[in-house]
Amino acid sequence: MTTTERDKMAAGEWYSCLDAELDALRNVARFAVHQHNTMPPGARGSMAPALRALLGCVAEDVFVEAPFHCAYGINIILGARVYLNVGCTILDSGTVRIGERCMLGPGVHIYCAEHHKDPILRAEGMEIARPVEIGDDVWIGGGAIIIGGVTIGNGAIVGAGAVVTKSVPAGAIVAGNPARPITRASAD
Catalytic residues: 115
Over the Cα atoms of the chain, what is R_g? 17
Exposure of 175 in the CB half-sphere (CA atoms within 13 A): 8
Distance CA 145, CA 161 (A): 7
3-state SS class at 64: strand
Q: Contact 105/85 with Cβ under 8 angstroms?
A: yes
Distance CA 16, CA 18 (A): 5
